[in-house]
Amino acid sequence: MENKYLILTAQVISLLFSPFHMPVVAFFLLLFLSYMSLLPLAFKVAVLVIVWLFTIMLPRLSIFAYRKLNGWSRYHLGRRANRFFPYLISIVCYASLLYLMYVFHMPSFTLGIILGALAIQVACALLNNWVKVSTHAAAAGGCLGALLAFSAIFHFDPTSWLCLCVLLCGLVSTSRLVLRQHQLRDVGLGTLVGVLCGFFCIYLV
């Protein structure tokens, strides 16, 4: 019975902290907890809807259609050999969003968020040739790297948020191990990729 609840908890954590959700969460925090909260509500909602469309809706629908066309279950997409096309779909969607935001002259640090998420997808797609990197761990690591970059840019003490991000990384990585979707090497490498991409893409943009 305990094992059943452990697996259920791991499934909930994996669902809630899906890599697709992280950009939307990041933009929500920026739009409502930073100086951007002064912007009109309609503008903030429009930005969130656009980010949601390109980072969650379009990738999920495209990957679902691809899976159905191939007659695959979710289990089949978990195999390393079958992950290239889903990566490609996500990369195209994120690159399109990045271009759209650049055209509309969004602040550079908001571009950095999407660029970081895009860099994580590209890095994981390339590493997928040799190892099944955990994109869940990479996305959580990206949040950690982004927080460090924002603290350096805006000069604030990130300690409390840093503790929360470290806890998030631990929870997400553990959930992927409990569900036997990845090995320790996969989540460790994913976290490292996420931290590096999240930090440098925001700090240097």
The answer for residues whose C-beta is within 8 angstroms of residue 133's C-beta and 6 or more apart is: 123, 124, 127, 186, 189, 190, 193
Q: How many separate domains does the chain show?
A: 1
Q: Please count the residues of the chain.
A: 205
How do residues 52-95 score in pLDDT, each as one tens digit?
999 999 999 988 888 888 777 666 666 767 778 888 999 999 99
Give the domain extent around 172: 2-203
Q: What are the angstrom distances between the C-alpha of 93 and each of 33, 89, 135, 150, 190? A: 26, 6, 16, 24, 21
Residue 75 pLDDT: 65
Note whether 187 and 134 are within 8 A (CB). yes
∠ Cα 139 142 147 (to 5°) = 135
The model carries a pTM of 0.88
> 173, 171, 155: which is closest to 163 by C-alpha?
171
User: Mean pLDDT of residues grouped by 10 in the chain (205 residues)?
Assistant: 78 87 89 84 92 93 84 68 83 94 88 93 90 90 91 87 91 90 90 94 86
